[in-house]
A = this chain, B = another copy of it.
Amino acid sequence: MALAVANSPDGLTAELEAIGRRARDAAQALAQVPAQARTEALAAGAARLRAARADILAANQRDLAEAKDLSAAMRDRLLLDDKRIEAMAAGLETVAALPDPVGLVDERWTRPNGLVIERVRVPLGVIAIIYESRPNVTADAASLCIRSGSVAILRGGSESFHSSAAILECLRGALRGAGLPEDAVQGVPTRDRAAVGKLLTMSEWIDVIVPRGGKSLIARVQAEARMPVIAHLDGNCHVYVHRDAKLDVARAVTLNAKMRRTGVCGAAESLLVDRDLATSQLPALVGDLLKAGCAIRGDETVRALDPRVTPATEADWSTEFLDAIIAVRVVDGLDQAIAHVNRYGSHHTDAIITEDAGAARRFLDEVDSAIVLHNASTQFADGGEFGFGAEIGISTGKLHARGPVGAAQLTSYKYRVHGSGQVRP
């Protein structure tokens, strides 16, 4: 894929509208092909990624050479190697093996007048995905769109421009090889930042926008998009240790929720502990975290336990640290814990640790989050762990999809009504 000539705003607009039109045409075609053809394209895409390994690595080297001002962490996110290409290919095979959601009948009922009504799953249409530097998102996002019968317009980070183009060529070749429209997967062939602004206005050709990236990207998309957005916002997740918690469960879950991986959206950012446990369980919980290298920002009771605990500020309760840092607060029971989570949390994923079924029930009912867990780690907030095979993100919105967004969540539905000449009185 070559850089397009898009020197003028008009040239860019024409280029993007042409992409939109091709996507719409491909969506109409793709919606009608049998699941098997899409499965074959996904499997062939995996084979092509493996076969094109050298080309992809060369494209990635070009990206790395052009990206001079990146931090070490950013360079690592951008870097591809044999192992990461193999992981992408294996990911495509996983998605190929997923049950196809298109055409599933969710419900079927008969009306008193004899009409038979079916609600059946259909593709969403054209999905534009705007993401940042990790080039593997190109393969992950495109594959979920193909599995769900939708077509993808992919706008990756400018740092991964050549890598993404090389990956896209494999997928487009696989679509052609399976007799499907290659425009079911298109990249935006320019680094011009104005392209994002234009995409967000193209509601005629784009049915939904999925932003994946930092807060500023998501805020921009939500402010400017003229079509629905499935956004993945912060994961300010909580573990609440209730007075009837078992100590070993509380210790294991808290440590895992915070420290298994600190950079994922399901990582715990705050720990709430019932005052009844201030002398029995809290010292062990804090000790485990400190020993694991976690910085602790605590209230007065927590600070009294260890000089390494620094004071928690009001802002800490709302912060997604994405690092080995946790805010710890002692609370006066279930009501205060629920109120704290609903006030400071981000409605993503929150857990209660308790042996009291009634307390667990109340926490799960009253905490207004996409995922609520009882006696399990918040790090299970993941489409793979839910059995969805893969995910495009975790939605914290309440419309359309909430929680992990996999192939099934990327579909819509229609009503098929079967009659025998019925007219409405």
A residues with a Cβ closer than 8 A to B are 28, 31-32, 109, 111, 115, 117, 122, 124-125, 207-208, 222-223, 226, 228-230, 246, 248-249, 252-253, 255-257, 260, 342, 364-366, 368-377, 379-380, 382, 385-387, 397-400, 402-403, 412-424
Contact = CB atoms under 8 A, between A and B. Distances in A.
12 contacts: A28-B368, A228-B400, A230-B399, A246-B421, A260-B423, A364-B416, A371-B415, A373-B417, A374-B416, A376-B419, A376-B420, A399-B400
Chain copies in complex: 2
Nearest to A208: B399
B414 A402 contact: yes
Contacts of A223: 226
Contacts of A368: 28, 31, 122, 125, 414
A424 B380 contact: yes
Contacts of A399: 124, 207-208, 228, 230, 399-400, 412
A218 B17 CA distance: 24
A195 to B, nearest CB: 21
B415 A403 contact: yes
A369 B413 CA distance: 10
Contact of A417 (B255, B342, B372): B372
Nearest to A118: B364
Contacts of A374: 416-419
Given A249-B421, A252-B421, A385-B424, 8 more contacts: A115-B376, A124-B399, A223-B226, A255-B423, A372-B415, A372-B416, A377-B423, A402-B415
